[in-house]
A and B are shown apart, each in its own frame.
Chain A
């Protein structure tokens, strides 16, 4: 088990990503942030918390998306369902999808499909905490990346969050 980000590095990375998002979406006026269930939510919650230091909370449009119904492997096994909450229209908005780890790209493919059912966004961007390079099965890349790492198929990246796991750390498990 190898540490990729310590608690301190994780906090700095989240802060950097939040400011990058704000640079490109000043005031978040036409932008909707959408975290991907289940574990992307911990990351997106932190991004929103960081952004709320600069933008009033009532101006931040933040939703949660569960992609279970859009998976391409429903017939191979059922996955636990989570709540989808997108109380804002995404029609002609800039949507930023937020997830913790980008690996094969299949989750993001499903999320893009799911977004179609809520409207036609002007633009969709992807914000990722850990990008596992060279492991993509679909042509999907992130626009905002916390940390890129090289890993092989047998390995697993695990992000620990205080509210869920009692500690904050990103590790690579063999």
Chain B
């Protein structure tokens, strides 16, 4: 019972058995979170630093809660207000933190590949909490966990990922994971936000018509328009995007079946999804957040456990 990798850098490097192990372990941690005392002493001798070079609400809080519920010691580092502004490099910062005897690093960085770079140079285990437009593995895992919890299995399920595919690390991690677990994947959105090579590179279906995508899928994972990563005009206005690709109650009700609505957050209400859809019964957005803590506990437990410290 062990993951095949020392780090969690991306879903791309994981075996299907690893994914299965993480999801199964998370079930038991979810049970822990229902107890009167939602804390276990499992990682009481482990120190974890949360290294956030980019803004985050959900992921940072979720990781910190997961660490605390496993009784690990945690340190939080955010780039703003640190010596990063004085010109310290990423590697120097991390080596300084590690010299204070830290066992694991959870990191988010705006540069794709930053955790992979770090993994080559430091001995500690690294968990990628989002790197640029590359991957966000724990988000994909909690999405998969939520789908499995609702639909029983991932195999053969039809998942549509809708919105800003080009700039989304959530989309990429989800595609890797869902394909490995035997789900059918479709990406949908305006042509300017879907890279042209998607079909060839990932063997996913591509759809430019929202209604067709929704009619096809069992689950719609709706993504935020990442304006902060777009350095050119890719659609004329948010209003126009909303009219063509926004999910609302009206379009959901006009479908012949009931589909699950997911969103990794933060939501831009009225852009990619309207309030009447985001807050509807079909939406499992808040359950995703709840499951996130259990899934991250499972990841930390599986990476930290089973490795005796030799110092």
Interface set of A (CB-CB < 8 Å, partner B): 66, 68-71, 74-84, 113, 116-119
Contact = CB atoms under 8 A, between A and B. Distances in A.
Given A75-B306, A75-B307, A117-B37, A84 B28 contact: yes
How many of chain B's residues touch chain A, expressed as a range? 20 to 34
Interface string B18-39: 0000001100100110011101
B307 A117 contact: no
A75 B41 contact: no
Contacts of A66: 28
Residue with the greatest number of chain B CB neighbours at <10 A, chosen from A69, A77, A80, A119: A69
Contacts of B35: 117-118
B1 interface: yes
A74 B171 CA distance: 34
A70 B32 CA distance: 12
A6 to B, nearest CB: 34
Contacts of B92: none
Given A74-B301, A78-B305, 15 more contacts: A66-B28, A68-B28, A74-B43, A75-B45, A75-B305, A75-B308, A75-B309, A83-B28, A83-B31, A84-B28, A84-B31, A84-B32, A117-B37, A117-B40, A118-B35
Interface of B: 1-2, 24-25, 28, 31-32, 35-37, 39-43, 45, 301-302, 304-309
B172 to A, nearest CB: 29
B42 A70 contact: yes
Contacts of A119: 36
Nearest to A75: B308
A69 B43 CA distance: 9
Nearest to B46: A75
A69 B40 contact: yes
Given A78-B1, A81-B28, A83-B31, A117 B306 contact: no
